[in-house]
Amino acid sequence: MTIRSYKGVKPVLGQGVYIDESAVLVGDIELAAHVSIWPLVAARGDVNIIRIGARTNIQDGTVLHVSRPSEKNAAGSPLMIGEDVTVGHKCMLHGCTLGNRILVGMGAIVMDDAIVEDDVMIGAGSLVPPGKTLASGYLYVGSPVKQARPLNDSEKAFLAVSAQNYVVLKDEYLAEI
Ligand SMILES: CC(C)(COP(=O)(O)OP(=O)(O)OC[C@H]1O[C@@H](n2cnc3c(N)ncnc32)[C@H](O)[C@@H]1OP(=O)(O)O)[C@@H](O)C(=O)NCCC(=O)NCCS
């Protein structure tokens, strides 16, 4: 079954959400309106919570997980993703916080307690180490990521366009069900 409870808590889906039938979502997860979850995504809100903002898309093969509270980190590391975020194919987002209008390039890894501010692009295959903050308005690439350059106006505009493209696409998929 795609959407499963853990300790009696089941994912909550907003209006117009699309979840591919091969994805797996477990536990304390909330998806805001028009979020799309593509094939083979695994999202596990068991030892902490996952929240995903409106119109965000999580593309094929991406893994979403969290870290439990500990002596060093009383709240643990929830996974918080903002609005109009594009998460490319086969990414790993673990216990981190992403703002709004972000593109996470294919295969990127974002680790615990990293913070990605609004309007950021992360290059394909990049690694964002634990606790690092990526500043608003920049492209970051590499493993570990380095600030590459400021985003230009058309790249900034594209961040919202990318999310909107996926809202249109998921509506086409919903129409097939
Ligand atoms: C980083 C990116 C945005 C290109 O940025 P750019 O400034 O236009 O970069 P260019 O293509 O001009 O390349 C500049 C340099 O960065 C390197 N580069 C490009 N992409 C890179 C990446 N992801 N990681 C590391 N280096 C990268 C290039 O090889 C080049 O190196 P060189 O100067 O030594 O030759 C793009 O390659 C990328 O990764 N986009 C993400 C796309 C994606 O995954 N979308 C989600 C799927 S829907």
Please choose, from the candidates 107, 161, 145, the residue with its C-alpha nearest in 3D space to the C-alpha of residue 169.
161
Whole-number pLDDT of residue 162: 98
Q: Is 124 in the pocket of ligand 1 (CB under 6 A)?
A: yes
Instruction: For residue 155, give the ligand 1 atom closest to its CA.
Output: 3
> How do strand 36-37 and strand 57-58 relate by DSSP bridges?
parallel
Return the CATH class of domain 2-176: mainly beta
pLDDT at 138 over 80: yes
What's the gap in Å between 31 CA and the centre of ligand 1?
30
Q: What's the pLDDT tens digit per position in 72-94?
A: 999 999 999 999 999 999 999 99
Q: Is 106 in the pocket of ligand 1 (CB under 6 A)?
A: yes
Whole-number pLDDT of residue 15: 98
Q: Measure the CA angle with vertex 128, ends 123 and 129; round to 5°.
A: 160
Report the pLDDT averaged over residues 143-170.
98
pLDDT at 1 over 90: no
Instruction: For residue 148, give the ligand 1 atom closest to its CA.
Output: 7
pLDDT at 40 over 90: yes
Q: Is 105 in the pocket of ligand 1 (CB under 6 A)?
A: yes
Ramachandran angles phi, psi of 173, nearest 5°:
-65, -40
